[in-house]
Amino acid sequence: MIEEKNPAARPATVVTFTVDPGHPMADKIDAIATPPRSGDLVEGTIIELVRGRLYVDLPPFGTGIIYGREYLNAADVLRKANPGDTITAKVVDPSGLDGYIELSLKEARQAAIWGEAEQAIAAQTIYTLTVEEANKGGLILSWQGIQGFLPASQLAKEHYPRVPEGDKDKIFSELLKLQGIPLSVRIITADAKEGKLIFSERAGDEEQEKASLIDKYQVGDVLEGEVTGAVDFGVFVKLEPGLEGLVHISELDWGLVEDPRALFSVGDRTQVKVIEVKDGKVSLSVKALRENPWKVASEKYKKGMDVQGVVIKYNKHGALASIEEGVAGLVHISEFESPAALRDALELGKTYPFSITLFEPKDQRMTLSYADAKAKK
């Protein structure tokens, strides 16, 4: 018998089979034999590592492959990997190179880490993490390679910066003293989609005190609070000593918000509306206190109308143009030969004529056409 030197390197063979619906095990076999889809986590056995490629046995679906950038991203892990080892990977493309199932170890590890974070929240697991940075709203710590935020209001009593009259500069000075100090913290929020990780140093009895405070608040309450932190995903507002809520970036304004720090600074006073009280957290809104501009727009505009709009942002789909404050629509890139041509034709901050091609104010959706408006001239 002649042994093939590199069985994994040949193009993958795709095997298909059917199951008789009347078979008593048909349901179980179908469940087992459901092909993996993009984004699925799969487990398999390493067949071979050769020339910057790793081959993984994924019965009964064939062979998986990790190569190129995905191989380089996982190089630190793959150095310790050997044929016969079992690994978990994320499916990037179920019909990839030469029929192989393309896999990613890095994305699988990220998914596993966020899953572990959710388990840590449920188990109230305590971690000892070192403070990396401080800002005027709290502290930055890292867990499993992910940067997270510890709001000042979530510090233990012995670390909370008690400063006369809440002087924000003095609070910041006190927080800076905690840099390099290990703290015992719990994860209280983990959102993989937004990359949001929030810690707390509070003990369980303090959390019970917080829960009793939260019981006083109802959806619809309008309150005034002090901004204690502004981060990429929103603004933290202190409602009373020991309790703060989050105004998510999507709840700051009806218009486009790129950076919450451009609207709010630590120490600012602002009115907020309670929009949710759930799982020991209070969610707040600033825009809910203002009239929805789309409601007003629904009485003024309709599909087919010609309007004037200001270009406020570029994205991969085209350009966003605002026809009035808080009401913006997409001018699709397909109207232009290239992204560069779009930017040449529509400059940021300038006003141009557009035609409304889609107008759904209830869903806050609108598309605009620059080409149609030009054609009418």
Q: Which of 326, 319, 327, 313 is nearest to 360 (CA)?
A: 327
Confidence (pLDDT) at 179: 94
Examine the pLDDT at 8 and tell me if it is beyond 60.
no
108-121 mean pLDDT: 85
Q: Is the pTM of this model over 0.85?
A: no
What tens digit of pLDDT does each residue of 307-334 get? 999 999 999 899 999 999 889 999 999 9
- The angle subtended at Cα 241 by Cα 238 and Cα 247, nearest 5°, is 15
Examine the pLDDT at 250 and tell me if it is beyond 60.
yes
Confidence (pLDDT) at 161: 82
Average pLDDT, the chain: 84
> Confidence band (pLDDT; 50, 70, 90) for 24?
low
Domain boundaries along the sequence of the chain: 7-109, 127-202, 216-289, 293-376
User: What DSSP string runs through 136-175?
Assistant: TTEEEEEETTEEEEEEGGGS-TTTS---GGG-HHHHHHHH
What tens digit of pLDDT does each residue of 122-173 get? 888 999 999 999 988 899 999 988 999 999 888 887 888 866 555 778 888 8
Lowest-confidence range among 15-19, 105-109, 263-267? 15-19
> Confidence band (pLDDT; 50, 70, 90) for 209?
low
- Domain 7-109 architecture: Beta Barrel (2.40)
Task: Find the radius of gyration of the CA atoms of the chain.
Answer: 27
- Please give the Cα distance from 177 to 308 (Å, whole number): 53
Strand order in the sheet with 133-135: 127-130, 182-191, 196-200, 146-151, 138-143, 133-135
Examine the pLDDT at 373 and tell me if it is beyond 80.
no
60-64 mean pLDDT: 89
Confidence (pLDDT) at 29: 44
Q: What percent of the chain has pLDDT over 70?
A: 86
185-212 mean pLDDT: 80
127-202 and 293-376 share one CATH topology? yes
Q: Tokens 């005027």 correspond to what residue?
A: 136
Q: Which of 172-176, 203-207, 355-359 shows the highest mean pLDDT?
A: 355-359
Task: Tell me which amino acid residue 165 is.
Answer: E
Q: For 216-289, which CATH class? A: mainly beta
Confidence (pLDDT) at 7: 41
Lowest-confidence range among 72-86, 144-158, 178-192, 338-352? 72-86
Q: What percent of the chain has pLDDT over 90?
A: 45
Q: Which of 267, 304, 264 is nearest to 287 (CA)?
A: 264
Tell me the CATH number for domain 127-202: 2.40.50.140
Task: Tell me which amino acid residue 210 is.
Answer: K
User: To which CATH superfamily is domain 293-376 assigned?
Assistant: Nucleic acid-binding proteins (2.40.50.140)
Examine the pLDDT at 17 and tell me if it is beyond 50.
no
